Amino acid sequence: MSVATHVDVPSGSPARVDTPAPGDPRLERLSLNQKTTDRWSLAEAVAGCAEAGIPALGVWREPVADVGTTTAARMVADAGLRVSSVCRGGFFTVADAAGRRAALDENRRALDEAAVLGAPCLVLVPGGLPGDRDLRGARARAAEAVEALVPHALEVGVRLAIEPMHPIFAADRGVVSTLGQALDMAEPLPADAVGVVVDTFHVWWEPGVEEQILRAADRIASYQVCEWITPLPADTLLSRGMMGDGHIDFAHLTSLVSAAGYAGDVEVEIFNADVWAADGRDVVATLARRYVELVEPHL
Amino acid sequence: MSVATHVDVPSGSPARVDTPAPGDPRLERLSLNQKTTDRWSLAEAVAGCAEAGIPALGVWREPVADVGTTTAARMVADAGLRVSSVCRGGFFTVADAAGRRAALDENRRALDEAAVLGAPCLVLVPGGLPGDRDLRGARARAAEAVEALVPHALEVGVRLAIEPMHPIFAADRGVVSTLGQALDMAEPLPADAVGVVVDTFHVWWEPGVEEQILRAADRIASYQVCEWITPLPADTLLSRGMMGDGHIDFAHLTSLVSAAGYAGDVEVEIFNADVWAADGRDVVATLARRYVELVEPHL
C-alpha cells in the first residue's frame, strides 16, 4: 500500500490508506448518510458522493423537502446514485390518541416519499418518554405503531426499519434499546414489511450482540457504521465518532452482519460537531478511507 | 401531610414532604453512599448520617484509608451506624497477567477491609476496555476474576456484588452492561459469595428488567437508587440525578426489588457536580425526603 497523502478528519492524523478513487470496486456498497455532512444541501451531498465515487446516499426528509421529493429523486438518479435509506420515521411514543394518529399519518407520508425516492427502507427512531415514567407503555405504543404501518409499507414497497438506539437515548429519543428487543418487535410482522437497523454505535456494547445479528438474518434492513468515542462529547446527541477513532471492533461486527446474509449498502452516519465543522469533501474522503480500511474487507 | 419547610437540592423546588426526623421508622433501611456527599470526610459523613437519622453508610475505600480501616469501623460503630457496602473493588479487565494478579490482590485487600468494617458486600466495578477493542475478552476476564475471588470472599464473609453498569460506561469503566449479564456471571458461583447490585441509574432502561430483578432474588446484594436526568450533564461520570428529578419509575423498580425478597439497605449514590457543590446537610435532608416520598413506600 502506498504512502497516504491525506489527513483524516477530525483526528488530524495521517490517513493509513490512500483515498479510493471513483470506480474503485471497494466503494460499491458504501453510502453517505446525509447527516454526516450536515451542512451540505441535497445538491451538495449528491455532487459530493458523485465526485468521491460513493454510489449511495442515505437521505433525510428535511433536505429532501427543501427541493421536493420528485426533484430529489431525479437529482439522485441523474447523478447515477441510489438512495440507501430515508431518515427518518418513528417518534410514535406520544401518549394521547390524537398525537399517535398524527404520528402514523406522518409516517405514511414518509413511506410515500421513500417510495418516490426508490429507497428500500424508512429508518424508524421510536421516540422517547412523552413526559411520564412509563417506559413499558412507551415501548408497547412503539410496537403497536409499527404494526399499524405494515399495510402501508407493503402497499408502497418500502420496508420499516426499526432502529434500536443506545440506552443513553432511552428517555428522550429511542425507547427500543437493544437489537434483541427490536427483533422481538419485528418478528411477529411480515419480513418484507419490517426489518431492523444494525448501527454499530447503538449496539456494539449489547451482550450477545453476535447471536442477535445472526438471528436478525434477512431482517437487517440497514447497516450503519460509526464509532463510540471516549470521553463522550458533552452533547450526547453529537457523540458519534469516525470509524477507527474509538472502541468498536468493526471487523467483528461487519463479519457478523455479512454472515447474517446482509448484502445491502453500508451507511456512514456520524453526528459530531467536529465532523460537521470540517469541509464536507475532506469528511467524505476520510470516511471512504476508513471504510475501505476497517469495514469493507469484512463484508 | 404538612406543608414542607425546605427546599430540595439541586432542583431548588420546594420539598413535597417534610424532612423525616431521626428515629422515623421510614428511615430504617436508608443508607447514604459516601459519594453523594463527596466533599465530606468519613467523620463528616458519619456525623451527617447520625444527625439526620440515617442508620447506614456506604463507604468508599479512599476516605476509609484516610483514617485507617480499624478506626473507620470504630467511628461508624460509635455513632450507632452500620456499613451497608464498601465501594469499590473490581477493575480487573486489564489484559496482561501481572496486571490481573495485581487487581486480584487489590480486591482481596478490599474484601479484608470490608470484613473489618462489617460490610455485607464489596461493590465490584468491572472495568472497561484496556486499550483494545475486544469487549468479549474483557468480559471473560471480569468473569474469571470474580470466580477467582470466591474463596477469599467466603473466607472473610463478605459478598462480591457485581455491578452492571449503564452501557454509556461499557468502554471505559464497566463492561458488564445488563443485570441479565451480571446474573449470568453470578449464577454458576455460590450465592453467599457472589451477588449483584441493582442500581436504578444503570438498569432502568434494560428490556425485561422486571424479569431479571425477580430472577435475581437472593442474589441482590445491594439496591442503589439515583436518577436518570436529561439533558445528560456534560461529564457522563457525573450525570446522575436526585430521585424525582428525572425519568425513572422508582415505585416500579422498588416494588420489584422488594418482591424479589431483598430486605437490605437502600443506598442513595449520586455522582453529580451540582449535588457535590451543595451543602452536605442540605443534600442529606433532600435525599431523605425524596426517599420517603418515592422509594420507601414501595419497599
Give per-residue pLDDT as tens, B50-99. 999 999 999 999 999 999 999 999 999 999 999 999 999 999 999 899 99
Q: Do A205 and B139 touch (CB under 8 A)?
A: no
Three-state SS letters, A83-134: EEEEEEEECCCCCCHHHHHHHHHHHHHHHHHHHHCCCCEEEEECECCCCCCC
| Beta-carbon separation of B206 and A181 below 8 A | no
| Residue B161 burial (CB count, 10 A) | 29
pLDDT score at B240? 93
Give chain B's length: 299
The pLDDT of residue A234 is 86
Report the alpha-carbon distance of residue B4 to residue B16 in Å, rounded: 6
The class (CATH top level) of A32-298 is: alpha beta
What cell does A171 get? 428517555
Closest-CA distance, A243 to chain B, in angstroms, reads: 12
Q: Which residues of B touch A133 (CB under 8 A)?
A: 247-249, 252
Assigned fold of B39-298: TIM Barrel (3.20.20)
> Distance (Å) from the C-alpha of residue B183 to the closest C-alpha of chain A?
12
Q: Kindly list the residues from chain A whose CB atom is less than 8 angstroms away from the CB atom of residue B171.
A: 205, 228, 230, 246-247
C-alpha cell at B66: 484516610
Of the pLDDT bands very low, low, confident and very high (cuts 50, 70, 90), residue B4 is low
pLDDT tens across B135-173, in order? 999 999 999 999 999 999 999 999 999 999 999 999 999
Q: What is the CA radius of gyration of chain A?
A: 18
Does A205 contact B236 at a Cβ distance shorter than 8 Å? no
The per-residue b/e assignment along A266-298, b for 16 or more CB within 10 angstroms, e otherwise, is bbbbbbbebbbebebeebbbbbbbbbbbbbbeb
- Of the partner residues B172, B205, B252, the one whose CB lies closest to the CB of residue A167: B205
Read off the pLDDT of residues B220-274 as tens digits, 9 standing for 90 and up: 999 999 999 999 988 888 889 999 999 999 999 999 999 999 999 999 999 999 9
- A230 chain-B contacts, CB cut-off 8 A: 171-172
In 3D space, the residue among A130, A225, A109 whose CA is nearest the CA of residue A173 turns out to be A130
Residues in A touching B170 (Cβ below 8 Å): 204-205, 228
Q: Looking at residue A178, what is its pLDDT?
A: 98
B135 vs A contacts (CB less than 8 Å): 204-205, 247, 249
Taking an 8 Å cut-off on Cβ atoms, the answer to whether B205 and A129 are in contact is no
Torsion of CA B26, B214, A175, A147, to 10 degrees: -130
What is the structure's pLDDT at A288? Answer: 97
- Digit-coded pLDDT (tens) for B198-210: 999 999 999 999 9
pLDDT of residue B59: 98
Contact yes or no for A222/A269 (Cβ under 8 A): no
Specify the pLDDT at position A4: 59
A129 to B166: CB separation less than 8 angstroms, yes or no:
no
Which three three-digit cell numbers place residue B169? 460506561
Query: Which of A135, A168, A248 is facing B133, going by the closest CB pair?
Result: A248
Q: What is the pLDDT of residue B220?
A: 98
Q: Which of A167, A178, A228 minimises the CB distance to B171?
A: A228
pLDDT block averages, 10 residues each, chain A of length 299: 68 88 97 96 98 98 97 98 97 93 97 98 97 97 97 98 98 97 98 98 98 98 97 88 96 98 97 92 96 98
Distance from CA of B72 to the nearest CA of A (A): 35
Render A25-57 in DSSP notation, one character per residue: GGGTTEEEEGGGGTTS-HHHHHHHHHHHT--EE
> Which of B162, B169, B206, B255 would you mutate first to test chain A, the one with the most A CBs within 10 A?
B206
Contact B167 A172 (CB under 8 A): no
CA–CA separation, B290 and B105 (whole Å): 39
B27 pLDDT tier (thresholds 50, 70, 90) = very high
pLDDT, residue B5, reads 64
Residue B114 clears pLDDT 60, i.e. is over it: yes
